[in-house]
Amino acid sequence: MDSGEVPIGRRVAQWRARRGLTQQMLADRMGKSKSWVDKVERGVRALDRFTVIRDIAEVLRVDASVLVGGDARPAASTGTGDGVDGVRAALARYEVLGRWPGDRLILPAGELDRRVGHAWLTYEHADYPQLVRMLPDLLGDAQRAHAADTRAETAGLLVRVYRTMASVLVKLGEAELAWLAADRAMAVASGDPLLAAVAAVPLGQALRASRRGRLAMAATIAAAHRVAPAVPHEAPPPELALCGSLLVEAALAAASCGDSRSAGELIDQAAEIAERVEDARDHQGAAFGPTVVELARVASAVELGDGGEAVTWHEKATSRSGWGRLPVGHRAAHLVDAARAYLHVGDLLRAGRALVDAERTAPPRSGAGRWRVR
């Protein structure tokens, strides 16, 4: 069967899965019910109005022609297609025996560290188009530095580049490509539990975005156990924060599988660590602390369909002083979760306000709807 014979409902299901969305997530963004999405995908409900097809295409970030039949092209409004192609090409390059193209010099570790830190800040500020333009050259520079000097310092820099790359690719709906970047980070980190833990955070995100929640749980829990301190009150805050971040990722993965018991237990473990860390930042720059754990409770509750609990935790988390110190990308993604929670309880006014706040928090430069992908 050629692509032109694929029913439109099946195309919707394929692109929804590719973007890492559940039927409920697509329904929320369309202002429809989950049953409506299910009937569309099964062909029970016909899609015979172009305005509806266009709205679905906008949510899925494809041209409407892709759903009715035609070549797959990213929606023009996203503004990141060329950048993602550059990242994909960078990941596809395999340099042999240190023979690198061009005459670029190997950057000193200090300069490379500065550039890697700037890239992560760009990610935290949700300027994804700018970041994907930066990443191909940054990856090449980090690879060159690591090839010339395989000490832990340069390995750590390369892992951080791969982590940044995987994290932004998840946000841009490129889950499989993100998985590849995270896998490269795990390979570089081999033998170093702390570096492997840093790499396991985006690996869990990529697996979860690929709808492989069980694999994401296994990877993040194993990494958390490897860095969990024997005596928690004596462990340095960065290691505690990293362990807590992994437990949060594992909890979200459990929620994506509908495993409410595991999700609750893992978030509770992360909360215990957060009380020792407070609203701190780990050595990679990712935020962790009580506020982050409460936001994870919101995301987990929304995924599990408990809108009332999600609203309660949202209102508690956003009243904390740590809320305003979180990166804008994190806050914007959370506000979308909050909007879904309000929709679950039928509060359309507050749902709309949450979406407006998300738009204000992550400005249009980040690409249309990019903050919506957690």
CATH number, domain with residue 222: 1.25.40.10
Q: Please indicate, yes or no, whether residues 83 and 19 belong to a single structural domain of this protein.
A: no
Q: Please indicate, yes or no, whether residues 318 and 266 belong to a single structural domain of this protein.
A: yes
Q: Please indicate, yes or no, whether residues 52 and 104 belong to a single structural domain of this protein.
A: no
Q: Please indicate, yes or no, whether residues 173 and 231 belong to a single structural domain of this protein.
A: yes
Phi, psi dihedrals of residue 62, rounded to the nearest 5° = -135, 165
Q: Which of 25, 47, 68 represents a domain boundary (last residue)?
A: 68
244-273: per-residue pLDDT in tens? 999 999 999 999 999 999 999 999 999 999
CA-closest candidate to residue 91, choices 187, 2, 165: 165
- Arithmetic mean of pLDDT, 317-325: 88
10-67: per-residue pLDDT in tens? 889 888 888 878 888 898 888 889 999 999 998 888 887 777 888 898 888 777 767 7
Q: Please indicate, yes or no, whether residues 210 and 284 belong to a single structural domain of this protein.
A: yes
Q: Which of 49, 68, 87 represents a domain boundary (last residue)?
A: 68
Q: Please indicate, yes or no, whether residues 118 and 233 belong to a single structural domain of this protein.
A: yes
Answer yes or no: is pLDDT of 114 > 80.
Answer: yes
Say which residue, 149 or 42, is predicted with more confidence.
Answer: 42
Phi, psi dihedrals of residue 74, rounded to the nearest 5° = -60, 150
| DSSP codes joined into one string, 6-74 | S-HHHHHHHHHHHTT--HHHHHHHHT--HHHHHHHHHTSS----HHHHHHHHHHHTB-HHHHHSS---B
Count of residues making up the chain: 374
The reported pLDDT for the residue numbered 76 is 43
Q: Please indicate, yes or no, whether residues 39 and 84 belong to a single structural domain of this protein.
A: no
Cβ proximity of 354 and 336 under 8 Å: yes
CATH number, domain with residue 25: 1.10.260.40
Question: Does residue 281 sit in helix, strand or coil?
Answer: strand
Residue 280 falls inside a structural domain? yes
Answer yes or no: is pLDDT of 73 > 60.
Answer: no
Residue 73 falls inside a structural domain? no
SS (H, E, C) 190-205: CCCHHHHHHHHHHHHH
Least confident of 164-173, 225-234, 242-251: 225-234
| CA 12 – CA 171 distance, rounded (Å) | 20
The reported pLDDT for the residue numbered 3 is 38
Number of structural domains (the chain) is 2
347-365: per-residue pLDDT in tens? 888 988 998 888 888 765 5
Q: Please indicate, yes or no, whether residues 57 and 101 belong to a single structural domain of this protein.
A: no
Q: Please indicate, yes or no, whether residues 132 and 61 belong to a single structural domain of this protein.
A: no
Answer yes or no: is pLDDT of 2 > 60.
Answer: no
259-310: per-residue pLDDT in tens? 999 999 999 999 999 888 866 555 456 678 899 999 999 999 999 989 999 9
Q: Please indicate, yes or no, whether residues 176 and 154 belong to a single structural domain of this protein.
A: yes
Residue 74 falls inside a structural domain? no
Answer yes or no: is pLDDT of 368 > 50.
Answer: no
Q: Which of 39, 68, 97 represents a domain boundary (last residue)?
A: 68
Q: Please indicate, yes or no, whether residues 52 and 15 belong to a single structural domain of this protein.
A: yes
Q: Which domain holds residue 184?
A: 79-372
The reported pLDDT for the residue numbered 205 is 95
Q: Please indicate, yes or no, whether residues 102 and 241 belong to a single structural domain of this protein.
A: yes
Return the percentage of the chain with pLDDT > 70, whole number.
Answer: 85
175-200: per-residue pLDDT in tens? 899 999 999 999 999 888 989 999 99
